[in-house]
Amino acid sequence: MRGESCTGKTRTAFEAVQVHLSDWQLVFPKNAKGLLTLLDADALVPRTVLWLNETQNFLIGTDGEEVAAALHSRLEVPGPVVVLCTLWPEYHRTLTATPDPATDTDAHPLARALLSQAKPVDVPASFAPAALKDLRVSSDRSLATALSTSTGGRITQTLAAGPQLVDHYQQATGPHGPYGHAVVTAAMDARRLGHTSLLPAALLKAAAPGYLTEQQRATDNGDTWFSHALDYAREKVRGVAAALEPVANPDGTMGALPDVYRLSDYLEHYARTNRRYTCPPESFWTAIRDAAASTADLNALAEAASSRLRYRIAADLYQSAAGSGDTSALLELARLRWQAGDTAGAERLEQRVADAGDPDALFKLAWQRKQAGDVAGAKLLVQRAAGAGQPDALREVARLCEEAGDVAGAERLYREAADAGSIYALQELVRLRCKAGDTEGAERFARQAADAGDLSLLGELARWREEAGDLEGAERAFALFRSARPREEAGDAEGAERFARRAADAGAPDALLELAEGREEAGDVAGAERLYREAADAGSSDALRYLVRLREEAGDAEGAARFAQRAADFGDPDTLWELALAREKAGGAEGVERLYQRAADSGSMYALRELVRLRAEAGDKEGVKRLCQRAADFGDPTSIGWLTRLRDEAGDPEGAKRLWRFGLEADGSPARPW
């Protein structure tokens, strides 16, 4: 069940289980470790529903990939078993997106492979007007009250007390309200910037003072303010939900875990939207350094600080993580030392990374050495990382073997890399097997890639079969992938649509998307748009992009903007940015800046950059400075270029140099040298 917070995902799932699986067992693990214990004990017997509410809590974090692998293994055993998940769209996007091999680290390959087997059922943020006219709504007192007090059909949020919870947070009244507000805001910032573990009370207490005014800090009792603040934050709104919730003991005994809390999902979602352009105060970062729950949290918050140009703060956090033995944090710390001009310090840290022998860190270090021009040193490090089994390093050494003419050696290394989890190595193996004429071997590797979450190779394989005249083999591969094109090209349009809809029902809406593309290429724009709409309704964000373009080409500016906004609502604000960019390129300047602003407000970093450009072209230096500061607080590392340029143009080249090296302080002022 995919949908935003408080849209009714859990209730919808509950109703489905109650109606269809009421005589099955239900298992409800509380955390990743509990789930792993359950699976290790082989306790998930047939006719069991495994309920993973807020699935991101199981698949993101230190145990996430182990959980994904264990679930994948259980699904390969005879059932019947139902694994029922609830996910926010942004988490689903994070866990299923295929990373760019040139720039991104593949953080969730096993989670992506697991979720690629699922059919997302989208739970919309609001009910359609027709549904709200249903007599059952007006005849039910609770629903009728929710309807009369909601806007835009968002009755489930009202029923879940979401808006009231926000109001309780925003209008923090009474003698203890401001202190509760500060504690909750610190929790919001921790969660939205990457602290995935439970929130320690010590962290919230240390962070909160930076969110208070001097008068508020001076007038409250230093001994009791935090306990009163927690009371306010834990107060149930309408008896339903609190900003901070206690956490039950995972061992099943009565009582809550001491001194840790969980932030309300609704407030976390609210913070990701309403605080995306706010950088936390100094006290927050110090609290993270001293009280973060894990090195993973420290590294995530350090990365968030670095992308916001808070280099000193990032270095401080990486130093804490490195002190716990994390070699990847050492490498990031070395990068910041290089940027600050501390060559000797950076080299000492890199040597510590090399001495530690961590294969992932060795490979990252090799990449950095290559970027610095040290090709020979990079090759040595890559070979060391490959010798330790690092999949990307194995793939790189395989590429070098292939370039040297040793195809057999290359394939052996590609196989090792694939066994170690590299999807890109599987791509290379498919290519080599096809080149050798071994279509059966190529299909075997393509299937392996599909199991790991990359379906594209099956599509390529199907096209190769089709080109070879093997229509039946092509359709078999397409059935595993996403396409109905063979039937379409054979003249069976009706059969092609049936096939594509079956694929969409099985969780592959791209079958409809590809069929729509073919219709559009053939000139059937109306038929294409109909299929694009079906694909969008089945969960394809790419289909929404096509619909934006078709509506724009048809002169329906309002319809195009509506589809773009729909994409933004489902976690893809860049569609709005692309629409604004297309209108600007077409010469339609009117309303373009407003559209960029909407995209930026929805979370598009690219749109924010375009706004900076427009203000610069208009000669509005203050506007540029204001937007660049906003971009920095949002987490756009490229904003450092604009900020240093502004300082240079203002006649302060030394200040520009210092800014480039040392970044900003927590409050946005130029950082002191560190």
- Asked if 160 contacts 6 with a C-beta cutoff of 8 angstroms, the reply is yes
What's the Cα-to-Cα distance from 330 to each of 58, 337, 353, 385, 495, rounded to whole Å? 27, 10, 7, 17, 58
pLDDT of residue 623: 94
The DSSP output letter for 87 is: B
Tell me the HSE value of 671 on the side-chain side, using a 13 A CA sphere.
Answer: 27
The C-alpha angle 245, 249, 252, rounded to 5 degrees, equals: 130
Place of tokens 């209730």: 11
What's the Cα-to-Cα distance from 206 to each of 197, 300, 449, 514, 621, rounded to whole Å? 17, 19, 46, 53, 37
pLDDT of residue 482: 46
Place of tokens 């602003």: 597
3-state helix, strand, coil in the chain (%, to 5): 65, 5, 30
Q: Is there a cis peptide before residue 391, judged by omega within 30 degrees of 0? A: no
Place of tokens 């000139």: 523
- Asked if 484 contacts 499 with a C-beta cutoff of 8 angstroms, the reply is yes
User: What residue spans of 220-356 are helical by DSSP H?
Assistant: 225-233, 265-274, 282-291, 295-307, 311-323, 327-339, 343-356
402-410 contacts: CB < 8 A, separation 24 or more? Answer: 407/432
Mean pLDDT by 10 residues, the chain (674 residues): 86 92 92 91 91 91 90 88 91 84 77 86 83 70 70 75 87 90 97 94 96 88 87 85 87 85 88 92 97 93 97 96 89 91 86 81 78 77 80 81 83 84 80 78 78 63 66 60 54 71 65 81 87 80 87 88 83 87 80 90 92 93 94 95 93 94 95 90
pLDDT of residue 460: 65
How much is the pTM?
Answer: 0.73
